[in-house]
Amino acid sequence: MDAREQTLQIDGFEVRITHPDKLLFPQAGITKRKLLDYYQAVAPYILRYSRGRPLVFVRYPHGTPGYSFFQKNAPEPVPPFVKVREMGKFKPTRYVVLEHAAELAWLVQLHALEFHVMGIRRPHWANPDLMVFDIDPPEGAGFAEIRDFALGIRPVIRKLGYTTLVKTSGKRGVHIVCPLVPAYTVDQVMDAAESVAREIMRVFPDSTLDVRKDKRRGKFLIDIYRNRAFQTFSMPYGTRATPMASVAMPIDWETLRTLDDPHVYTIGTVPEVLQKKGDAWEGEFARTSHLHTLR
């Protein structure tokens, strides 16, 4: 077979890979083959939290940095092993539903370098099983300030009755994820998230729900809008299109307390972290909560 083409056997499916030596992250020297190796290595952890979730992705046809585009509809032609679900309020979209590591490999072949997942998963298509708070820093803030803010608001969220898990966004932010019993509508989860955010704002006046940059100068944005219908957040253990291929990394709160740079989590370091420390969310994701702040 031509060295520019390979066929991988993943989860019992054949995935055709072309140009495996193509550089996708030139600064880090990461080829398509290395990225595929990463996703195969961490697939059990990715599937633990994202199997059954619709996903969207960002494609970089020539690698990063460079031209990119955000894609929601499943690329055609869709292989037989790829699960697709049509959803949408006004204009139906054919979303890829993550079920197998083979789907990730197929999308990497199409130069998808970022993956974002929804807060719903089969079979509860209308009922989210998590609530997400995306903490964005004020302009000019360093990661230490974001870290300390996240650590500060955690007790507020826990006091309201929620399990709190934390992950890096893969870039400069932090996501706080609260697993839910999938018994509530998207609107109910949004209402609850807003109630939590307003309590945080009461305790921490340097925070806001206002996404307008001119209205939130010097304030941390509590982005609850990831909880709206069909919105997404960076997939746990998924790559981001940064120079060194950073990863959206689930961590425990003690690790966050001493974390100075979230970019230490890359496709080169994460497999070793998992081997030594295991999955920080293991067992915790099952600690689901009911909504406690319904309007």
User: Tens of pLDDT along 139-165?
Assistant: 888 999 999 999 999 999 999 999 999
The region, left, alpha or beta by phi > 0 then psi within -120 to 50, assigned to residue 83 is beta
pLDDT at position 218: 83
Q: What's the rounded Cα separation, in Å, for the pair 103 and 12?
A: 12
What is the tens place of the pLDDT at every residue in 47-74?
999 999 999 999 999 999 999 999 999 9
| pLDDT, the chain, mean | 94
**How many structural domains compose the chain?**
1
Mean pLDDT of 115-139: 95
Assigned domain for 51 exists: yes
The residue among 148, 140, 191 whose CA lies nearest residue 166 is 148
Which range (3-12, 164-173, 223-232, 242-251) has the least confidence? 3-12
pLDDT at position 97: 98
Q: Is the pLDDT of residue 294 over 50?
A: no
Structure tokens that stand for 11 in this block: 């989860």
Assigned domain for 206 exists: no
Assigned domain for 148 exists: no
Confidence of residue 102 (pLDDT cuts 50, 70, 90): very high
Assigned domain for 103 exists: yes
Q: What's the rounded Cα separation, in Å, for the pair 244 and 171?
A: 11
Interacting residues of 25 by C-beta distance below 8 A, sequence separation 6+: 35, 63, 64, 113, 243, 244, 245
CATH number at residue 120: 3.90.920.10
For residue 150, give Cα distances in angstroms to 81, 101, 253. 39, 32, 10
CA-based diameter of the chain, in Å?
A: 63
Assigned domain for 78 exists: yes
pLDDT at position 64: 94
Residue located via tokens 């994701």: 285
Domain limits for position 66: 5-126
Residue located via tokens 């940095």: 65
The beta-strand segments (E) located in 12-80 are 13-18, 23-25, 30-31, 54-59, 69-71
Q: Is the pLDDT of residue 109 over 90?
A: yes
Assigned domain for 20 exists: yes
Evaluated on CA atoms 123, 125, 131, 137, the torsion sign reads: positive
Interacting residues of 135 by C-beta distance below 8 A, sequence separation 6+: 146, 149, 150, 153, 173, 174, 175, 176, 220, 221, 222, 223
Q: What's the rounded Cα separation, in Å, for the pair 275 and 258?
A: 20
Assigned domain for 252 exists: no
User: In terms of DSSP H, where are the helices of the chain?
Assistant: 32-50, 101-109, 143-159, 186-203, 253-257, 270-277
Assigned domain for 24 exists: yes
Q: What's the rounded Cα separation, in Å, for the pair 208 and 218?
A: 10
Q: What's the rounded Cα separation, in Å, for the pair 270 and 293?
A: 36
3-state percent breakdown (helix, strand, coil) of the chain, nearest 5: 30, 25, 45
Q: Tell me if the pTM is above 0.85.
A: yes
